[in-house]
Structures are given as structure tokens and as C-alpha cells.
Structure 1
Amino acid sequence: MVWNYLNDPDRAGLKQSYSELCAIRNGNPQMFKEGVTTVMSCDESNWANGRTIKLSNGTDELYCIVNPNITGSKAIDVPFAKDAAQYHLLSASYGVEPSLSGKSVTLPAGAYAVYGTAGMTDIEEIIDDVTPQVNVYGGIGEIIIEGDYRELDIFNISGQRIRGTSGLPATIYIVIVDGTSYKVVVR
């Protein structure tokens, strides 16, 4: 491996995308075994309208959405079984911020996004409707917490506890500050 390749942001982003996808795969073996329900919309007729893959096992659901077109953003209809608010972004193409609206995900050309239910993160509940007493957000290689707090827990998307808020690899983290959960993207 030529390690200085990671100095190129695009190559580092590609590595990060693979790392996120591998973490989803390794952290959720129940979704990748015999007997899991798989629904795919990946044939030629789905080229212009986007492609989707759905895996479901009990209450756990995982969706991969892809815009295979070479130009233009596309709003792709996703067959979410539940209300879209029940799904959390687990991974997306480097530099892409997918837009979820109703049962549609908008992606630029050549991009993917992976959404899953709360069970995919090994975190039982993510609270989004609480007025925060602190401001929690991701930066480049760090999680930033502004304001006073007593307790802090950080987990990666596999549910493993993380120590410290800096020097972090780019991925999605669940940050729990004084009992309130936040989904944070670190670049």
C-alpha cells in the first residue's frame, strides 16, 4: 500500500466509504445470513430512476440507495416499510449529504447512501425531539460539544464505545450528552 495516497482527499474519502460499509457489514451479521428478506430494484429499467436494495430481518431493516446516472441529482423513491423518520443515515458517498424527504432520497450522480433502523447502530433510541442544552456537531477528525454537561458517551456505528473527542476517523457517531442522543458525522 502506498500510504501517501491517503493524503489525497478523494482517495481518503474512498477508503472511509469502504470502512463505513465494512463496519455496517461486520456490525450487523444478522442482516447478511441465510433467510434474510432481500428486495432489489437493480435491473436495467432502474437505471434512470435509481437503484435500491432492501434487507430485512425481524424489525431490523437496511436500505442501499444508488444514483447510477453520470449526470444530475435524482430523487429516488425508496420502499421504506416504516415512516422515513425511523431510518438513520449509516453511510454515504464521500462528500455527499443525501436529502431524505418522505419516502424519497435525493442523491447526486454516481452516489450511494445506506439507511438503517435504530437496531443497525446497536443503540436502542436516538432522541431528535429534545431541545438541546448543548450544541453537538462533527468537525474534521473531531466531535465538538459546546456548553456545559455532566456525562458524555460516544459510540461508533457498530456500537463500540469511543474514548476522546479528537483524532477520530471520519464516520458517523452516536454521542450521548447528559442522556440526550445525537447522530454526529465526523469528516
Structure 2
Amino acid sequence: AAARFDADAALVLLDDQDRGLWNGQMIAEGLALIDKAMRHRRTGPYQIQAAIAALHSRAVTPADTDWAQIELLYGSLEILQPSPVVTLNRSVAVSKLRGPEAALAMIAPLAPRLQNYFHFHGAQGAYLMQLGRHDEARIAFNRAIALASTSAEAAHIRLHLDRLADQSQPPGRRMG
């Protein structure tokens, strides 16, 4: 948990976490259990989710993350356990591999089913922001804030809105 929140109790996303703060002993234990479970060759949704977690855990830095393998695993999970949330999670890997436009196209059909899901609007806002579609990103981020379950979630999204506000200021008038 130490890596997931900063000194002000604000959320720290996976790519921004200090992986040196992760509990190496617990990770090693978990990886050993995953390896043992995989040897049984009966792959189900839990084994796939564990394999995804293992890929994240084995990456020393965010750049070392095997996004291609993660996307394949999420694709398998979509077959075994179809869910708009699984597709939303897969869109993160797609964004890393093929860019935010591809991820946005992937999640667009999910909107009716995930209209009340915080993470949908947060991801949508992030992809739109990466594409420079700031007005649409603001709408998505404001919806995410309205749906946030915790003050930490809302505060994290407000940081994105602050970045958008800074980017919309003329060069000589930017705050911060």
C-alpha cells in the first residue's frame, strides 16, 4: 500500500509507483503460487488474472511491462468471462501498444453499460487528453469525479483537470 498512495494520501498510478516500495517477499510468494497453479494446466479466469498481475510484478520498470502479453491474456479473459470491465482493462494494454485512438475506439461501445462506472470515464478522459481532445476529456473527467467512491479517486481526477486548465492558458499566463 505504501507505493499506491503518496505522502498526502493521493493515489499513485501503477506507472508512477516506486516499485522499490513493493513488498518483494509477498510478490515472490505470490509468483511462486502462480507458477505452481499454472503447472496444473487448468486455466480459468483466476489463473489469467494472476498471470496478468505476475507480468506487472515482474516488470522492474513500467517500460519493462509486457503489454502484448497482457493484451493477449485479457483477450483470453474476455472469452472465458466476458465483461465490459475486462474489455476496459484490456483497453489500457491496447493504448500502450497501439495508442489512445485504438483504445478509445475499443471502449466506445461500452459506454451504455459502463455509464455509471468511475473507471470508464477516467480511462476515457485519459485517452481523450492524450489525443488533445481537451473539451471532451474535461466532460469525461467531470463525470468520473461525480462517480468517484473515494476522495482519493476524485482528487486524482482533479489533477488531470488541473493539467488541462494549465494547457488551455496562454503561454505567459500558465499557473504553477
TM-score by length of 1: 0.26
Q: Which has the higher helix share?
A: 2
Task: Choose between structure 1 and 2: higher strand proportion.
Answer: 1
- What's the TM-score once normalised by structure 2's chain length? 0.27
Asked which structure has the greater RCO (Cα within 8 Å, sep 6+), the reply is 1
